Chain A
Amino acid sequence: MRSIPRRSALALCAAWMTFAACKDPYPTPRFSGAGATSERRGGTLRVAFDTDLRTLDPAQAYDELSTAVVHHLNDTLVDYEPNTGAIVPQLAERYELSTDQRTYTFVLRPNLVFSDGTPLDSRAFVRSFERMLNPRKVPCPGTSFYHLIDGADAFAEGNAQHITGVTTPDARTIVIRLSQPDQTFLNAMAMSFTSPVPVDYVERVGNDEFARNPIGIGPFVLERWEMGSRVVIRRNPRYWNPQRPLLDKIVYELSLARHLQFMRFQRADLDHANDYALTTADYLSLNAQPAWAPYIHRAAEMAMYGVAINCELPPFDNANVRRAISFAIDRDAIARSRNYRIRPLGGIYPPGLPGYDAHLPGAHEYDPERARRELREGGYPNGLPGEHELWLTEGPGAAVYGQLFQADLARVGIRIRLKFASFPVFLEMTQRRRAVAMSFTGWNMDFPDPSNFVDTLFHSRNATEEHAQNQSFYRNPALDALLDRARVEPDRARRLSMYQEAERIVVRDAPWAFMFAPQKIEVDQPYVHRGDHSPVYPHDLRNAWMDLPLRPFVAGARR
């Protein structure tokens, strides 16, 4: 028998490797569940993030990943009902609001204990609350949500030993009195900053150690945190709700680059892939595989993106010019550039947010003729003279959005120069008065209330010299007055209609060119059931369960 020449053997080997490398090794999921139709306990769910975990101290966590993990280790007095988004008691058994709308009374559930067995009563809660609001004890990034509490400012400035507006008539009752009514106060109390922590333990080990080895009162406890690598949390056997959680453990893989996450997910090394794991190529390949279709979940994200236009800098102090910019943008082309992972938006509020108006009068849309007319009416019949800067920073698609924006505006006679900056420089410059003409930016909600968008971004109190959240430096006394009235309005329907009126004012004056609202796209393995999840915490796995044991996946089989 003739032997195959060595060169031919090498060529054959290379051809086989090339062929194998071109064929997708995972066109379908690898495993499906056992076929259970109701919730089951047990299992370890593995998820990944491309960032590193910063802290597990609820008073300090404000970034997406830290908040996601902290949310599982802690509870708050009140939380959001998954389906309706209504605020419901959590650690509090019940709560009441006084008739003057200024005093909240929370009654704790009986026999609450932290994961180490330390009991939680009203005094322990208030000690934890005061720790969070004391800037000399812990650098909490969210104290401003609570400054309407009587005596909170004096306490923060070191002029009082305790917050006068927070009292504990008995071991289970906490009374919080505000200096003026605030309809978003319960939202603020649902934020994880207020999660109680065992202060004696914190003071014994120090903030830094506590941030690494926390003790909480939530459904999970920390098992281990390998810095930069993974965090493992397991079920808290002392949790007040014996029905939850259903999972035994959650493993968070940290700092796992996006391009690796989806590879791992397809190989079933991860059980859930969130939006960040899906690069454009991954997303398209996933959509092209019918076997994955039932396991892809799409939902509106409570965020809004657009171009903030500096109303203090000419020629952008002219509302016609600002409207011309906004009406020149082809939002559908922008959505297409991201394979419709974003939805065009013509106003402030994203779909799904209370107050969202699908038929918003005067909503910004693509209308180049209107843009040219606005320029003419604004005194620029031949387009804007000169070239104007649009600041951008890192983020998915930012460069593409910038280029599309540039091309759209060129068509109506506005020349744009794109300026890219690192995130710290971008923030510093765009939040400084009279520094930047236009910036591509966005807002991600702290809580599902229109005030968190319109008040934060357009109230003149937030147009500060530096670090301004009102990045367009838009000032309108009529809008300010309306927002101040809406903040204290007790009737929900009336309040929402006031916020809709506020949106119409802002859309008319166009301090922003509103562009799009992102869609959250996630994919689970067939054996993972997410259950009802929080409308606020994007990575909520409190009700998730796994249909174990796993079986090899069969296309077309029942989930």
Chain B
Amino acid sequence: MTSFLLRRILAALAIVWAVSTLSFFVTLKLGDPVATILGPRASARDRENVRRYYGLDQPTYVQYGRYMARLSKGDLGMSYRYRRPVSTLIAERFPRTLLLAVMSIAFEVIVGVALGALAAARKGTRTDQTIMAGAFVTMSLPTFITGKVFLLVLAYYFGLFPIGGYGVTMLDHVYHALLPALAISLLSTAAYARLARNELVEILQAEYVRTARAKGLSEPVIVVKHALRNAMLPIVTSLGLSFGALFTGAIVTESIFAWPGVGRLAFDSVSGLDVPVIVGCVIFGSFGIQLGNLLSDVAYAFLDPRIRHG
């Protein structure tokens, strides 16, 4: 188990390094960062001053070397736009993105698995068909559409939710997070419902389930207590993947709902060509994905002894 973990961690670090190097060079080719720091009105003389101040007058390899030297010490550099350490900017916003991620994952898993279980238990009935058709339609709806519809109908017309933003108190944050969390989770909820249903349909035909039925156990007990536990393996695997993906997917949702998380920071930094923040967010995102993968691998190995000993 230790060497398995070590291998996975080393692979994750190598991927993070490759991603950060790639994003560093790609963003440098997107344009002159000084132009976005100062805008069109600054004179050539002031631009040169600012270029020198940020070390942007140095050759690319020097800039990259300095960046990597700082990165190896955990320093992601300074934002051009905000004149603040990138790590501080991300650290300030991470709890906000985490709150969204936790709320959406909770919704996805609870509602998705419940719907999947219901559909599997009533396989072939109108309920099963309705749930699966609903899941199919929901999976086809992109978040930027559902998000805007939710805002317009639920927040603006019916006044049930705040119109975007983050709120002031903790309770307020949770209230403001409800609608974006719902919008993010819709797609994955549908995916979990389909996954859980398919797994359960197969498991419910297994011999041990037939034996349980023969012993007179009720259908809900069979589904929840016996079948669902075995159906959870692929769901746990997907959970790790979607945890990482949530951080990168947050770019769209946070922008629609004006949620000031890491996704919104990444969006603003791309439009402002704030290279240190872009690279910082990419590293953060890839780190999140790697962590998600690692956790799902570990959980999988933990849940299934065949993998652990294989």
A interface residue numbers (CB < 8 A to B): 17, 20-21, 25, 51-52, 54-55, 57, 60, 62-63, 135-136, 139-144, 147, 156, 207-208, 211-212, 226-230, 253-257, 259-260, 263-264, 267, 269, 422-425, 427-428, 431, 441, 443-444, 446, 462, 464, 466-469
Task: Check if B18 is an interface residue, CB within 8 A of chain A.
Answer: no
Residue numbers in A under 8 Å from B42 (CB-CB): 62, 141-142, 144
Task: Check if B166 is an interface residue, CB within 8 A of chain A.
Answer: yes
- The smallest beta-carbon distance between B301 and chain A, in angstroms, is 38
Q: In the bound complex, what is the Cα–Cα distance between A321 and B82 (angstroms)?
A: 44
The 8 A CB mask of B61-81 against A (1 = contact, 0 = none) is: 000000000000000001001
Q: In the bound complex, what is the Cα–Cα distance between A376 and B92 (angstroms)?
A: 63
Task: Check if B153 is an interface residue, CB within 8 A of chain A.
Answer: yes
Q: In the bound complex, what is the Cα–Cα distance between A417 and B210 (angstroms)?
A: 70
Interface contact B31-A422, CB-CB below 8 Å: yes
Interface contact A269-B163, CB-CB below 8 Å: yes
- The smallest beta-carbon distance between B7 and chain A, in angstroms, is 38
Write the chain B residue with the least CB distance to A134.
Answer: B49
Residue numbers in B under 8 Å from A431 (CB-CB): 35, 40
Task: Check if B249 is an interface residue, CB within 8 A of chain A.
Answer: no
Task: Check if B309 is an interface residue, CB within 8 A of chain A.
Answer: no
- The smallest beta-carbon distance between B270 and chain A, in angstroms, is 9
- The smallest beta-carbon distance between B33 and chain A, in angstroms, is 7
Write the chain A residue with the least CB distance to B268.
Answer: A52
Task: Check if B271 is an interface residue, CB within 8 A of chain A.
Answer: yes
Q: In the bound complex, what is the Cα–Cα distance between A420 and B44 (angstroms)?
A: 24
Choice from B43, B53, B83 contacting A55 with Cβ under 8 Å: B83
Do A267 and B159 contact each other (CB < 8 Å), given the known contacts A425-B31, A467-B44?
yes
Do A142 and B83 contact each other (CB < 8 Å), given the known contacts A260-B151, A424-B32, A428-B35?
no
Choice from A54, A156, A259 contacting B81 with Cβ under 8 Å: A54
Interface contact B83-A229, CB-CB below 8 Å: no
Q: In the bound complex, what is the Cα–Cα distance between A52 and B41 (angstroms)?
A: 19
Interface contact B165-A253, CB-CB below 8 Å: yes
Ordered by A's residue number, 18 sampled pairs between the chains whose C-beta atoms are within 8 Å are A20-B157, A55-B83, A60-B83, A62-B41, A135-B49, A139-B50, A141-B39, A143-B45, A143-B46, A144-B46, A227-B93, A256-B258, A269-B163, A424-B33, A425-B31, A427-B32, A428-B35, A467-B47
Residue numbers in B under 8 Å from A211 (CB-CB): 83-84
- 15 A-B pairs besides A20-B157, A257-B255 with CB distance below 8 A are A51-B268, A54-B81, A54-B83, A135-B52, A136-B53, A211-B84, A227-B93, A255-B258, A255-B260, A256-B165, A263-B155, A424-B31, A428-B31, A462-B43, A467-B47
The 10 closest A-B pairs by CB, nearest first: A424-B31, A228-B260, A135-B49, A427-B35, A144-B43, A260-B164, A139-B53, A467-B44, A425-B31, A229-B260
Task: Check if B38 is an interface residue, CB within 8 A of chain A.
Answer: yes
Choice from A147, A427, A443 contacting B31 with Cβ under 8 Å: A427
Residue numbers in B under 8 Å from A207 (CB-CB): 83
Q: In the bound complex, what is the Cα–Cα distance between A427 and B32 (angstroms)?
A: 8
Task: Check if B58 is an interface residue, CB within 8 A of chain A.
Answer: no
The 8 A CB mask of B259-296 against A (1 = contact, 0 = none) is: 01100110010010100000000000000000000000
Q: In the bound complex, what is the Cα–Cα distance between A224 and B19 (angstroms)?
A: 36
Interface contact B44-A466, CB-CB below 8 Å: yes
Q: In the bound complex, what is the Cα–Cα distance between A139 and B83 (angstroms)?
A: 10
Number of interface residues of B (CB under 8 A): 55
- The smallest beta-carbon distance between A67 and chain B, in angstroms, is 11
Residue numbers in A under 8 Å from B50 (CB-CB): 135, 139, 141
- The smallest beta-carbon distance between B158 and chain A, in angstroms, is 7
- The smallest beta-carbon distance between A285 and chain B, in angstroms, is 12
Interface contact A464-B258, CB-CB below 8 Å: no
Point out which of B38, B89, B159, B256 has the most chain A C-beta atoms below 10 A from its C-beta: B38
Residue numbers in B under 8 Å from A441 (CB-CB): 40
Q: In the bound complex, what is the Cα–Cα distance between A62 and B52 (angstroms)?
A: 18
The 8 A CB mask of B211-254 against A (1 = contact, 0 = none) is: 00000000000000000000000000000000000000000000
Do A424 and B30 contact each other (CB < 8 Å), given the known contacts A141-B50, A229-B165?
yes
Do A446 and B164 contact each other (CB < 8 Å), given the known contacts A17-B153, A424-B273?
no
Choice from B40, B49, B148, B165 contacting A139 with Cβ under 8 Å: B49
- The smallest beta-carbon distance between B141 and chain A, in angstroms, is 17
- The smallest beta-carbon distance between A36 and chain B, in angstroms, is 29
- The smallest beta-carbon distance between A286 and chain B, in angstroms, is 15
Q: In the bound complex, what is the Cα–Cα distance between A77 and B163 (angstroms)?
A: 41
Interface contact A227-B92, CB-CB below 8 Å: yes
Interface contact B256-A257, CB-CB below 8 Å: yes
Interface contact A20-B264, CB-CB below 8 Å: no
Task: Check if B145 is an interface residue, CB within 8 A of chain A.
Answer: no
Interface contact A446-B41, CB-CB below 8 Å: yes
Q: In the bound complex, what is the Cα–Cα distance between A229 and B82 (angstroms)?
A: 14
Write the chain B residue with the least CB distance to A444.
Answer: B41
Task: Check if B156 is an interface residue, CB within 8 A of chain A.
Answer: yes
Choice from A20, A63, A208, A267 contacting B84 with Cβ under 8 Å: A208
Q: In the bound complex, what is the Cα–Cα distance between A260 and B180 (angstroms)?
A: 14
Q: In the bound complex, what is the Cα–Cα distance between A263 and B156 (angstroms)?
A: 7
Residue numbers in A under 8 Å from B41 (CB-CB): 62, 141, 443-444, 446, 469
Task: Check if B36 is an interface residue, CB within 8 A of chain A.
Answer: yes
Task: Check if B54 is an interface residue, CB within 8 A of chain A.
Answer: yes
Residue numbers in A under 8 Å from B152 (CB-CB): 21, 263
- The smallest beta-carbon distance between B173 and chain A, in angstroms, is 10
Write the chain B residue with the least CB distance to A468.
Answer: B44
- The smallest beta-carbon distance between B225 and chain A, in angstroms, is 31
Q: In the bound complex, what is the Cα–Cα distance between A425 and B166 (angstroms)?
A: 33
Interface contact A208-B38, CB-CB below 8 Å: no
Interface contact A254-B49, CB-CB below 8 Å: no
Interface contact A425-B163, CB-CB below 8 Å: no
Choice from B32, B163, B264 contacting A255 with Cβ under 8 Å: B264
- The smallest beta-carbon distance between A48 and chain B, in angstroms, is 9
Q: In the bound complex, what is the Cα–Cα distance between A468 and B49 (angstroms)?
A: 16
Do A227 and B260 contact each other (CB < 8 Å), given the known contacts A25-B157, A54-B81?
yes
Interface contact B83-A141, CB-CB below 8 Å: no
Write the chain B residue with the least CB distance to A469.
Answer: B43
Residue numbers in B under 8 Å from A267 (CB-CB): 156, 159, 163
Interface contact A227-B89, CB-CB below 8 Å: yes
Residue numbers in B under 8 Å from A422 (CB-CB): 30-31, 271, 273
Q: In the bound complex, what is the Cα–Cα distance between A136 and B261 (angstroms)?
A: 33
Q: In the bound complex, what is the Cα–Cα distance between A468 and B45 (angstroms)?
A: 11
Interface contact B260-A424, CB-CB below 8 Å: no
Interface contact B53-A25, CB-CB below 8 Å: no
Residue numbers in B under 8 Å from A462 (CB-CB): 43
Residue numbers in B under 8 Å from A142 (CB-CB): 42, 46
Interface contact A263-B163, CB-CB below 8 Å: yes
B178-210 contacts to A, CB under 8 A, are none
Choice from A143, A208, A425 contacting B83 with Cβ under 8 Å: A208
Interface contact A257-B31, CB-CB below 8 Å: no
- The smallest beta-carbon distance between B46 and chain A, in angstroms, is 5
Point out which of A55, A211, A264, A443 has the most chain B C-beta atoms below 10 A from its C-beta: A264
Residue numbers in B under 8 Å from A144 (CB-CB): 42-43, 45-46
Write the chain A residue with the least CB distance to B82.
Answer: A54
Residue numbers in B under 8 Å from A427 (CB-CB): 31-32, 35-36, 40
